[in-house]
Structure 1
């Protein structure tokens, strides 16, 4: 738990000065915070994501974190809304989430839960990938960019698209789910039901499993993917090799997405991105290798600027700046 964090130099984005209660649900942790109209973040609470127990226990964990933050908004007149970003897939029409990596939250009615935390305020539910992308577009590495992919490489791999300056979420609100782009048609089975997905090659979970299998760590000794990233930055040859493999896999997926969407920028965040140059050098080398068409060479890759706050800031942006970040209406199915 912590109080004030990063502060943006942006001026107030809305006449309503009340903050948004932002919630970011990931495979390892759930973060809640107040996000203000200038994109600054305060009163953050971070708790481990529940992995055992039932639906009621999971609801209690999320609710306790949210209420722990809400009490700090009373002096500001409460919150103007609740913005939730979650690992997916999600169903915003039903107000539910079904994260592949979090079985206890399958079909969880997040909108119903949130409506009980602060009645009579709007609740917006979006995928964590698009929230990360919107956060970086509003106040981070993607500021002013027209076409970008935001990619979070953490317990899983998530993504979100900004096209022509607007979020593109698609008819089901799950567009940009790059973690389940297939990079190896003959690869291993994925929990999503497919096989050979990017997430199996580049997620923190996958990297740590490969490191342990190669003798870097013994199961159960407390090592994490973040520790592996630290080791890679420090020059550990095994860790650097694993991040190089992950970077090449990410580059294959990034090049494919850029070929479809003609991207200006790809912003990469999440715990795995903490490896720094060992990962980003491999991504850049891989994209040079795979980018055959001339227009693909203009796609830049940058690390996320907001760090762990990107998803929170993006979840709040949908409520602070609804005209800028309202997703375009889906094209009717013929």
Structure 2
């Protein structure tokens, strides 16, 4: 199911079966040391225990809502609760070797703080310290959520074997992470790969200053594209309703889906011009808004590519579905060799 106007659907942490990545590890029990994985986004926080073969420990996955209207204390409490619930499932005799945290950005990897665009109450919030303290660890490793998704896809997902690639999420927001010549790219502050903040529309000649309405995220993400469809006369208000209307052939819904995919394709083409990507894996709730969404993105990349070489990039669907952020956060511990 696609994301709603405000959130991607997610399984109930107490009843949904844990899934093994299709191209990843086997389905036997957890192996050896475990990492605590935490993923913080604009609508929810999740935590789980993940082993060194990228498998979620059954029953360890828990979630709680966040939301743009939540206070700082409410968000922090949600993070603490899912960590507490997850740690109660730590199998006897399995050591907890660290905590990896993926968060919507901007972040400061150096200081362990986050200022997510979709969580106004958190500005410079010490998320890494909160997670480490709650888990009883000396420190937690914090990285951008897009980089975590890329790490997961490169580790056991759709980008295995690639040396230069990008992972993307299209959901409440639009995020990304970069792999260049076999290494994850963090950048000066830890925010490299923040493709959702690329400006893809031309501003009026007399405009000045920052205009977030021109960014890829504010064109292509679930909430913004549903809002655009409503301005065209669409009667629904959620991503699910947009998806259903699109399947039924509603012309406004299909135009909205194509508009989102086109914008994502333009963003990818721009990224390719800089780093000559081999492949891009797209996940996130809104990327499931239609069966042909990724195909539409691929077509857009090929159509707008400013260089003929860009048409060789492969745009593929995530192989890890909604587990990618948690697997990637755990990869900050289990695959620390890939970190910048």
- Please state if 1:274 is matched with 2:288: yes
What is the root-mean-square deviation of aligned Cα atoms in Å?
2.3
- Please state if 1:36 is matched with 2:51: yes
Q: Secondary structure at the match of 2:169?
A: strand
Match of 1:147 in 2: 164
Point out the more displaced range, 225-234 or 79-88. Answer: 225-234
Partners of 1:232 and 1:278 in 2: CA distance: 11
Q: Is the 8 A contact 2:38 2:102 kept in 1?
A: yes
Match of 1:330 in 2: none
Point out the more displaced range, 129-138 or 76-85. Answer: 76-85
- Please state if 1:22 is matched with 2:40: no
Partners of 2:287 and 2:272 in 1: CA distance: 20
Distance 1:169 1:237, change over 3 A: same
Unaligned runs of 5+ residues in structure 2 are 1-12
Partners of 2:174 and 2:141 in 1: CA distance: 22
Unaligned runs of 5+ residues in structure 1 are 328-334
Partners of 2:227 and 2:284 in 1: CA distance: 18
Return the structure number with greater relative CO, CA threshold 8 A, min gap 6: 2
Partners of 1:272 and 1:53 in 2: CA distance: 23
Match of 1:214 in 2: 232
Q: Is the 8 A contact 2:115 2:123 kept in 1?
A: yes
Partners of 1:297 and 1:249 in 2: CA distance: 16
- Please state if 1:326 is matched with 2:339: yes
Partners of 1:56 and 1:292 in 2: CA distance: 46
Q: Is the 8 A contact 1:53 1:104 kept in 2?
A: yes
TM-score by length of 1: 0.88
- Please state if 1:288 is matched with 2:302: yes
Match of 1:180 in 2: 197
Distance 1:147 1:62, change over 3 A: same
Partners of 2:90 and 2:162 in 1: CA distance: 32
> Alignment partner for residue 218 of structure 2, among 200, 221, 235?
200
Aligned length: 318
Q: Is the 8 A contact 1:243 1:278 kept in 2?
A: no
Distance 1:131 1:234, change over 3 A: farther
Partners of 2:199 and 2:98 in 1: CA distance: 37
